[in-house]
Structure 1
Amino acid sequence: MPLRPQKPCTALGCRTLTRNARYCDDHAELAKAAIAKRVEAQRESSTQRGYGYKWQKASKGFLIKHPLCAQHDRRGEVVVATEVDHIVPHKGDMTLFWDRRNWQSLCHSCHSTKTASEDGGWGNPRR
């Protein structure tokens, strides 16, 4: 059976060719570290983070009172909001989580963009 073609090591700045999955022998520990980081970063369920039945009822009521996307509204555009966002990320602080002054209605697109910029999604640095 022919050998697997060599590919460059994915470690930053390394130009070594390898037949291993991602890293050369010198950087194999990076693969282990990446796996450990992924396991550590696994989040609790949404209910465990506070987004259970009580949140669903409260956010639906908030959207009824505030039906337009706040981001689009600031630009003078009219777009229907679909999600309730915490203006300042609560990071597990239930007092901040339930503070309605910290809530804003956003459309899905604006909410995804804001969340990704704060949480490090889409390759953005984590704030």
Structure 2
Amino acid sequence: MSERPWRYLYNTRRWHRLRTAQLRDEPLCRYCKALGKVTPAVIADHIKPHKGDEELFFDRDNLQSLCKLCHDSAKQSQERTGKLPGCGEDGWPLDPNHHWAKKGGG
């Protein structure tokens, strides 16, 4: 039995249309953009892991465009640890849940 039985969703026509629209509307990597870099995106990434939930899988608001490097490094690290590594050009953490990034905190 497959560890990820929802893999078939990535082969559907509906996903291919959604992925194409995502990359057309957001052609640059979101993580690189936060770092002040311009990198073409090649992956339509699920912000919140769907784990087979079709509603979440096909939710356009749950997608972001990433380059392969960011998807395979920063995003995977975030999914493992719950924290987005790195900081932007301004020096502030990229992770919106970082205590420095919270307004009025401290």
Bigger Rg, structure 1 or 2: 1
Give matches, 1:45-124, under 5 Å.
46-47=7-8, 50-52=9-11, 53-113=13-73, 114-115=75-76, 117-118=78-79
Please identify runs of 4+ aligned residues in structure 1 that moved more than 2 A: 40-46, 115-120
Measure the CA separation in 2 of the matches of 1:60 and 1:91: 21
Q: Show structure 1 runs of 5+ residues with no match.
A: 1-39, 121-127
For normalisation by structure 1, the TM-score amounts to 0.54
Q: Which amino acid aligns with 2:56?
A: L
Give the aligned CA root-mean-square deviation in angstroms: 2.2
Q: What whole-Å deviation, never above 9, does each CA across 1:13-50 have from its counterpart, x for those lacking one?
A: xxxxxxxxxxxxxxxxxxxxxxxxxxx66333621xx1
Q: What whole-Å deviation, never above 9, does each CA across 1:75-116 have from its counterpart, x for those lacking one?
A: 111000000001110111111111111100000111112136
For normalisation by structure 2, the TM-score amounts to 0.64
Measure the CA separation in 2 of the matches of 1:42 and 1:95: 20
Greater relative CO (CA pairs within 8 A, separation 6+): 2
SS in 1 for 2:49: coil
